[in-house]
Amino acid sequence: MRAGLLHVYTALSPLVLLAGCSIPPSDAQYTPPALPDQESFPPVAQLLVVRCGSLDCHGTPGRNLRLYGSAGLRWSPSDRPLVPLCDTQDEIAQDYESVVGLEPATMSAVVAAGGADPQQLTMVRKARGTESHKGGQIWSQGDASDTCLTSWLGGDTDAAACASAMSGVLPGGPSNPLMQCLSAADASAD
Partner 1 sequence: MRPMATITLSALVMSLVQLTACDPVHDDAIAALGPEAPGVRQGPLHRPGQPCLLCHDGAIGDPQRFTVAGTVYETAGELVAAAGTTVVLTDAKGTGTQLTTNAAGNFYATPGQYDPTFPIQVVVQAPGRPAVRMQTLIAGNGTVEPNGGCASCHFDPAGSDSPGHVCLALDDGGTPP
The CB-of-80 to partner 1 minimum distance in angstroms stands at 6
The CB-of-132 to partner 1 minimum distance in angstroms stands at 13
The span from the CA of 14 to the CA of 11, in Å, is 7
* Binding positions for partner 1, rule: CB under 8 A: 50-51, 54-57, 59-60, 62-63, 71-83, 85, 134-136, 169-172, 176-178
Minimum CB distance to partner 1 smaller for 110 or for 178: 178
The span from the CA of 126 to the CA of 174, in Å, is 27
Minimum CB distance to partner 1 smaller for 54 or for 151: 54
Minimum CB distance to partner 1 smaller for 129 or for 135: 135
CB neighbourhood size of 2 (10 A): 6
Contact 168/57 with Cβ under 8 angstroms?
no
CA-atom Rg of the chain in angstroms: 24
Please give the helix or strand (H or E) that residue 189 lies within, else none: helix 179-189
The CB-of-177 to partner 1 minimum distance in angstroms stands at 6
Minimum CB distance to partner 1 smaller for 109 or for 169: 169
